[in-house]
Amino acid sequence: MFSCVQSIGLFGMQTYPVAVETALENGLPRIDIVGLPDAAVSESRDRVRAAMKNSGFLFPNARVTINLSPADKRKEGPMYDLPIFISVLKASGQLSAETKDCAFVGELSLSGKVRKVNGILPMVIDAKERGLKAIYIPFDNAAESCIITGIDIYPVLTCKDLVRHLKGEKLIRKADRKQFPAFEPQNPEVLDFADVKGQFQVKRALEIAAAGGHNTLMIGPPGSGKSMLAKRIPTILPDMTPQESLDTTKIYSIAGVLSNHHSLVLSRPFRAPHHSISPAGLSGGGQIPKPGELSLAHHGVLFLDELPEFPRQTMETLRQPMEDGCITIARVSGSITYPCDVMLVCAMNPCPCGFYGHPTKKCTCPPHAPAKYLAKVSGPLLDRLDIHIEVPQVEFDKLSDDQPGESSAKIKARVNAARKIQQQRLAGSGISCNAKMTASQTRTFCRIDESGKKLLERSFDQLGLSARAYDKILRVARTIADLEGSENIATCHLAEAVQYRALDRKFWK
């Protein structure tokens, strides 16, 4: 006796159809699972057998062979429990329902409950694109999958419920988007730029960074408010486009960090890993690599506080992905690419004591310590940061001022307007902000006049900038012009952009 049930496999961001075939033969009772299963898949046999018995079905007393096809692709994870369960029931004649146009995904508990699995969202999308009519998923994955329309999604609580549904005895309710609110990855703590006194220049720089998606470095003495400012960046980031939301939600689904009750990720992620994080934690790791912090920050912000404390190797991991917007991890089982289109924000002190270059306080470090400390941030990484901004200590009269500063909502409105202009200009090119423009796009969209060219020429001689810095200055100037609603890049926009590159000369001489 034979049966075949459809399921879906996942490798990184890639999904592929998996057919679960079961054959029953006469002979000594035993179960074999073939088709390159990993340990979790091989253990399926024990879970399925127990779940079947505990749900009131009979496990066939025969030689059972289960094949997961295509046989040349490694299958990982427990998500094949549910299709194996249905396949065995059908092969043993306990279920005769038609399942040609549907897929099954889910882990089983020994009692027959269907448990949550990672990566449901890309699997549901795959099933829909293959033209399947229905997909049966774990109940706890309903929230993340219900944003997809055009396919019937059935959240299943227990395998008994599923069998009753397939027999037409008691139908399961389809997943409904209205049941679930959107997912907010940030902490709900209410932060606002209005809390930060003074620091107008820094706030201005962060507004430009948020508007154009520019990588930013804040440098300054202890207690000047760097961490405080960075924590408030999420409150001024531009709204996500529907496509960006879906892209980020897919990664969260694969990483298994979406909660049971929330659907789409609607606000840009803000990830702030501690400096003890390993390179693999940042880039993604594991035998079948899961997304790391870099990818979890996709379309959002990756914040590295106390930058020089990050080991050199960890920092260098960032270089290639920041340029490409994606990270490829090679493993024996094949290479996996995860997107990581992030805005990098870093904060640091200029020396171990923190007061190097301070106008009034004296640096107490030994003579070579500041240079050694600054050298921990490599030139290539520094070069990738578009905006360098000094965060000075606020004066007492500004701190004691009771007037609240400008609210995040007001800043965000300006950022959103500037981002809209960029999205229209870059429509159809696959990117949505100035910071991600290619060299040729920079030439096309960042034209400057004669006086602008002169200014750049002078600054280049004085600051000794790299070719990459040249393009970055043009892109930042483009964002400054966009914030003003100006079509042309004026000399004042360029001058402001150049000023954000002048700082590395002060510290990294």
Tokens of 264: 């789409």
67 forms part of the interface with ligand ATP (CB under 6 A): no
Position closest to ligand ATP via CB:
225
- Partner from Zn ion, ligand ATP, Mg ion, none binding residue 292, C-beta < 5-8 Å depending on class: none
Q: Return the number of the residue (252 or 356) whose C-beta is nearest ligand ATP.
A: 356
491 forms part of the interface with Mg ion (CB under 5 A): no
CA atoms within 13 A on the CB side of 278: 5
In Å, what is the CA distance from 166 to each residue of 154, 170, 207, 439? 11, 8, 55, 56
Position closest to Mg ion via CB:
227
Number of residues in contact with Mg ion under rule CB under 5 A: 1
In the range 142-171, which residues lie near ligand ATP by CB under 6 A? none
User: What is the secondary structure of 173-198 as a DSSP string?
Assistant: PPP-GGG-PPB--S------GGGS-S
Q: Return the number of the residue (245 or 349) whose C-beta is nearest ligand ATP.
A: 349
**In the complex, least distance from residue 193 CB atom to ligand ATP, rounded to whole angstroms:** 10
Count CB atoms within 10 A of the CB of residue 24: 18
Residue matched to tokens 């449901």: 120
Q: Are 333 and 342 in contact (CB under 8 A)?
A: no
Tokens of 383: 């070069």
- Partner from ligand ATP, Zn ion, Mg ion, none binding residue 363, C-beta < 5-8 Å depending on class: Zn ion
CA atoms within 13 A on the CB side of 240: 24
216 forms part of the interface with ligand ATP (CB under 6 A): no
- Partner from ligand ATP, Mg ion, Zn ion, none binding residue 419, C-beta < 5-8 Å depending on class: none
**In the complex, least distance from residue 398 CB atom to ligand ATP, rounded to whole angstroms:** 7
Count CB atoms within 10 A of the CB of residue 202: 22
In the range 332-351, which residues lie near ligand ATP by CB under 6 A? 349
**In the complex, least distance from residue 354 CB atom to ligand ATP, rounded to whole angstroms:** 6
Judged by CB under 6 A, the residue of 22, 87, 145, 224 near ligand ATP is 224
* Span from 59-67, 93-101, 219-227, 500-508 in contact with ligand ATP (CB under 6 A): 219-227
- Partner from Zn ion, ligand ATP, Mg ion, none binding residue 197, C-beta < 5-8 Å depending on class: ligand ATP
**In the complex, least distance from residue 306 CB atom to Mg ion, rounded to whole angstroms:** 7
The DSSP output letter for 101 is T
Q: Which long-range contacts (CB under 8 A, 24 or more apart) does 467-473 make?
A: 468/383, 468/384, 469/383, 469/501, 471/439, 471/442, 472/214, 472/386, 472/501, 473/497, 473/498, 473/501
Query: Which secondary structure element, helix H or strand E, spans residue 18, and what is its range?
Result: strand 14-25
The dihedral sign for the CA sequence 219, 220, 226, 229: negative
Burial annotation 348-363 (CB, 10 A radius, 16+ → b, else e):
bbbbbbbbbbbeeeeb
252 to 291: interface string for ligand ATP, x by CB under 6 A: ----------------------------------------
206 forms part of the interface with ligand ATP (CB under 6 A): no
Tokens of 29: 């009772």
199 forms part of the interface with ligand ATP (CB under 6 A): yes
How are the residues of the chain apportioned to helix, strand and coil, as percentages rounded to the nearest 5?
Answer: 40, 20, 40
**In the complex, least distance from residue 275 CB atom to ligand ATP, rounded to whole angstroms:** 12
Omega before 70 cis (within 30°)? Answer: yes
226 forms part of the interface with ligand ATP (CB under 6 A): yes
* Pairwise CA distance, residues 497 & 208, whole Å: 10
Q: Return the number of the residue (227 or 337) whose C-beta is nearest Mg ion.
A: 227
- Partner from Zn ion, ligand ATP, Mg ion, none binding residue 58, C-beta < 5-8 Å depending on class: none
**In the complex, least distance from residue 358 CB atom to Zn ion, rounded to whole angstroms:** 9
Q: Return the number of the residue (199 or 434) whose C-beta is nearest ligand ATP.
A: 199
Query: Which secondary structure element, helix H or strand E, spans residue 14, and what is its range?
Result: strand 14-25
371 forms part of the interface with ligand ATP (CB under 6 A): no
404 forms part of the interface with ligand ATP (CB under 6 A): no
In Å, what is the CA distance from 217 to each residue of 194, 214, 389, 438, 466? 21, 10, 6, 22, 17
Judged by CB under 5 A, the residue of 227, 259, 423, 466 near Mg ion is 227
Judged by CB under 6 A, the residue of 40, 194, 228, 490 near ligand ATP is 228
333 forms part of the interface with Mg ion (CB under 5 A): no
374 forms part of the interface with ligand ATP (CB under 6 A): no
Q: Are 309 and 338 in contact (CB under 8 A)?
A: no
- List of residues 6+ apart from 157 with CB closer than 8 A: 113, 114, 139
- Partner from ligand ATP, Zn ion, Mg ion, none binding residue 353, C-beta < 5-8 Å depending on class: Zn ion
Q: Return the number of the residue (227 or 442) whose C-beta is nearest ligand ATP.
A: 227
* Span from 21-29, 177-185, 223-231, 460-468 in contact with ligand ATP (CB under 6 A): 223-231
Judged by CB under 6 A, the residue of 79, 254, 394, 437 near ligand ATP is 394
* Pairwise CA distance, residues 209 & 236, whole Å: 10
**In the complex, least distance from residue 462 CB atom to Zn ion, rounded to whole angstroms:** 27
Q: Are 411 and 207 in contact (CB under 8 A)?
A: yes
- Partner from Zn ion, ligand ATP, Mg ion, none binding residue 224, C-beta < 5-8 Å depending on class: ligand ATP
Tokens of 376: 């921990």
The residue ranges that bind Mg ion (CB under 5 A) are: 227
The residue ranges that bind ligand ATP (CB under 6 A) are: 196-199, 220, 222-228, 349, 354, 394, 399
